[in-house]
Amino acid sequence: MYTSIRRYTITAAETVEEITRRVKEGFVPIIRQTPGFVAYYLVDAGDGVVATISMFDDQAGAEESNRRAADWVKQNLAHVASDAPQVTAGQVTLHKTK
Model pTM? 0.89
Q: Tell me, yes or no, whether 97 lies in a domain.
A: no
Q: Tell me, yes or no, whether 75 lies in a domain.
A: yes
Q: Tell me, yes or no, whether 63 lies in a domain.
A: yes
Q: Tell me, yes or no, whether 30 lies in a domain.
A: yes
Query: Is the separation of the CB atoms in 54 and 30 below 8 Å?
Result: no
Q: Quick one: pLDDT band at residue 68, thresholds 50, 70, 90?
A: very high
Tell me the per-residue pLDDT of 27-60, one tens digit each, with 9 for 90 and over: 999 999 999 999 999 999 998 899 999 999 999 9
Q: Tell me, yes or no, whether 69 lies in a domain.
A: yes
Total domains present in the chain: 1
CATH code for position 42: 3.30.70.100
What gap in Å lies between CA 79 and CA 10, rounded to an integer? 9
Say whether pLDDT at 91 is over 90: yes
Give residue 50's domain range: 2-91
> Residue 11: what pLDDT?
81
**Most confidently predicted of 28-32, 75-79, 94-98:** 28-32
- Which helix (H) or strand (E) segment is 88 a member of? strand 86-91
